[in-house]
Structure 1
Amino acid sequence: MKILFAAPENAWGGIFDKLRHAHPDVEFNASGSYKIDSLKGFDVLIPTMSPVSETLLRSADSLQLIQQIGAGLEGVDIEAATSRGITVANVPTDVSGNADSVAELGIYLMMALARQSREIHTHLQNRQIGAPMGKALQGKTAGLVGLGGIGKALIQRLRAFNMRLIGIKSVASEEFAEQFGLDWVGNLANLPQLLSESDFVVLSLPDSDETHHLLNHNVFQYMRPGTFLVNLGRGGVIERQALLTALEDGTLGGAGLDVFWQEPPDPQDPIFSQNVIATPHIGGVTDVSLEGIYQNVIENIRRLKQGEPLLHCRN
């Protein structure tokens, strides 16, 4: 069996070496970048952040499984894979510990924005004590856009800060709101209301036809001046130019970004001269998350070798 890991060997916390040692009888190959030229000769593809198009799939002559290390399958043409009899599987955030790790990073970004962390070093260097002035999370409203595994993990943690919680999911649900302690849960049609009520807006959405550029120039106008925005989902959910404008004109007090309009982003992008706290797509890159992902992936490889049903198939 031959497996292609579409990334550098040392990416994602060294999971490539762990997989290789778990299955010494399998030939593992790392592409060295997030670009795949051909799938010829490979039985399994681990795409990571590499796009898997119908054109690419035409080069596959023995591919049986596309196994994502994580939940994100936006870049995979699942319909094209299905038509060729190729199974597509992922590791859902709520079974690996990934959702918990991403939620922790989300809170880190929220607190860093609230406490003006970009200014702290300057005050220390200038020997100024008692500044900068921060904002407490207590008593503020957090608008959670996306209430899957990450959204639920955020709810659990943000309750401890005594925040008012409101949310958006695919279908409005009073039952969900009551079960998880939110003031209300609407659908995407209620996004303007959520933005107008929130001090913090946290996104944990996939980038789909429905959500691509969900936050754009027209939508940002519903926000109160100084709102903080955190994106833990996918960069394509926010229109980049609209984000820059909202930061420049004060619609946003700041943004915490773990995902970007292109990855990796250009470090010279003028957005980063604004009040932006950026992390290099590391929400799920923790010991707990990677161990959970690793265990699920090695199990699916074992099952494929043994001809057993696979876990978390998406087609």
Structure 2
Amino acid sequence: MQETRVAVAGTSFPAVRQHLEEMLPGAVVEAVPVELLRSGGCAAEVLVPAMCRIDAAVIDRVDGLRLIHQWGAGLDGVDIEAASRRGVLVANVPAGVGGNAESVAEWCVMAAIAVNRRLPVLQRVLRSGAAWGDPPGRSLHGRTAGIVGLGGIGQALALRLRPFGMRVLGVRRREDAELAGRLGLAWIGGAAQLPELLRQSDCLFLCLPLTEATRRLIDERALALLPAGACVVNAGRGGVVDQAALVRALESGRLGGAALDVFEQEPLDPASPLADRPDVLATPHIAGVTDSSYRGIARRVIENIHRLHDGRPLLDCVNADPAGAQASRDS
């Protein structure tokens, strides 16, 4: 295989570079700080975003760029139209490919247990030397889970919640009785059934991408529909939740807690009211950062690099020309 230059846009998620270096021998893989990328640019055939907005200005700074490949599914941070105008392909790795969905679903289960068992509070009790055996937590057994977004992650999560004895509901773009039966859900409603799902959800799981339709979908009105003491678990995108409304709901005591792996602005400001609340479990966008998930994603990215060199159509390319046109551009 010819030498490939891969630039990881940003210095977050260092395991991305490590996996590419290990699994793509002979390639030059460089992590480029965002500030340097915007001011001085770099030379690379493939650009992998790592918590960096890829807009027209960044694209123009990368000499020889042919492919922007998301390390995962979400492309809300990539200006696909700008890339297309410049003849640059854009591809992603869907959540159901390579083990990412399973890893994120595991995080959701862990997070729901931790929030309901009040893990952040328990850690403070242990460090303070206070009396043991308090505070009591809440069990998942017998409660209702509502999953908003039933793509790869939502489906993997549904299968993992049922053994805990939870009643599981779901909402996606359209009702799907067949999928509900296959996953063992009580029901799967369309978008119009979201208010009903919220009213019944002791644990609300958000597993959907950020689009104009989903931006701040969970706002003050939506949060008010949740039962008293409910928890919110967000492993989708931070912009799906109105964070200010979430803080108000927590401060009022109506919500039992929140588990957040994603935020409206990332990295999260350490001074954010969400950073140190005892009723919030906050993690730094690591729900899908596992050994199995990263190996699976790396295999798909590397497969597309091979396809790029061979002039073959890419897998999961969101702006691909027909195969002949793509091959012509690559020749």
What TM-score, normalized by structure 2, do the two folds share? 0.88
- Corresponding residue of 1:19: 20
CA deviation digits over 1:42-91, x for unaligned, max 9?
Answer: 32111122112234334455321111111111111222222332211111
Shift of 1:122: 4.2
Shift of 1:208: 0.8
CA distance in 2, matches of 1:121, 1:84: 51
The question of 1:115 aligning with 2:130 is answered no
- Corresponding residue of 1:103: 105
CA deviation digits over 1:276-313, x for unaligned, max 9?
Answer: 01111110111111111111112222222232332221
The amino acid of 2:191's aligned partner reads L
Moved more, 91-100 or 268-277: 268-277
- Corresponding residue of 2:33: 32
Moved more, 101-110 or 48-57: 48-57
CA distance in 1, matches of 2:218, 2:112: 18
Q: Work out whether residues 34 and 49 of structure 1, in 8 Å CA contact, stay in contact via their aligned partners in 2.
A: no
Name the SS of the counterpart of 2:133 in structure 1: coil
Q: 1:39 to 1:252 in 2, by over 3 A?
A: same
- Corresponding residue of 1:175: 178
CA distance in 2, matches of 1:99, 1:43: 28
Q: 1:128 to 1:61 in 2, by over 3 A?
A: closer
CA distance in 2, matches of 1:123, 1:4: 45
* Percent sequence identity over aligned pairs: 44
Q: Work out whether residues 13 and 285 of structure 1, in 8 Å CA contact, stay in contact via their aligned partners in 2.
A: no
Query: Structure 2: where are the runs of 5+ without partners?
Result: 320-331
The question of 1:143 aligning with 2:146 is answered yes
| Residue from 157, 164, 167 that aligns with 1:164 | 167
Shift of 1:234: 0.6
- Corresponding residue of 1:305: 309
The amino acid of 1:78's aligned partner reads I
The question of 1:228 aligning with 2:231 is answered yes
Q: 1:27 to 1:18 in 2, by over 3 A?
A: same
Q: 1:181 to 1:63 in 2, by over 3 A?
A: same
Moved more, 23-32 or 284-293: 23-32
- Corresponding residue of 1:278: 282
- Corresponding residue of 1:288: 292
CA distance in 2, matches of 1:67, 1:6: 11
Shift of 1:13: 5.0
CA distance in 1, matches of 2:20, 2:118: 40
What TM-score, normalized by structure 1, do the two folds share? 0.92
- Corresponding residue of 1:77: 79
Moved more, 249-258 or 117-126: 117-126
- Corresponding residue of 2:188: 185
CA deviation digits over 1:75-115, x for unaligned, max 9?
Answer: 11222222332211111121111111111111111001111
| Residue from 7, 10, 16 that aligns with 2:10 | 7
Q: Work out whether residues 144 and 201 of structure 1, in 8 Å CA contact, stay in contact via their aligned partners in 2.
A: yes
Name the SS of the counterpart of 1:96 in structure 2: coil
CA distance in 1, matches of 2:274, 2:15: 30
Q: 1:137 to 1:21 in 2, by over 3 A?
A: closer
Name the SS of the counterpart of 2:214 in structure 1: coil
Shift of 1:18: 3.2
Moved more, 259-268 or 51-60: 51-60
Q: 1:30 to 1:311 in 2, by over 3 A?
A: same
CA distance in 2, matches of 1:49, 1:34: 12
| RMSD of aligned residue pairs (Cα, Å) | 2.0
Q: Work out whether residues 6 and 35 of structure 1, in 8 Å CA contact, stay in contact via their aligned partners in 2.
A: no
Count of residue pairs the alignment pairs up: 313
The amino acid of 1:221's aligned partner reads A
Q: Work out whether residues 40 and 62 of structure 1, in 8 Å CA contact, stay in contact via their aligned partners in 2.
A: no
CA distance in 2, matches of 1:188, 1:255: 23
CA distance in 1, matches of 2:133, 2:46: 56
Q: 1:34 to 1:148 in 2, by over 3 A?
A: farther
Name the SS of the counterpart of 2:205 in structure 1: strand
Shift of 1:35: 7.5
Q: Work out whether residues 19 and 294 of structure 2, in 8 Å CA contact, stay in contact via their aligned partners in 1.
A: no
Matches within 5 A, 1:21-60: 21-33=22-34, 36-37=37-38, 41-59=43-61
Query: Structure 1: where are the runs of 5+ without partners?
Result: none
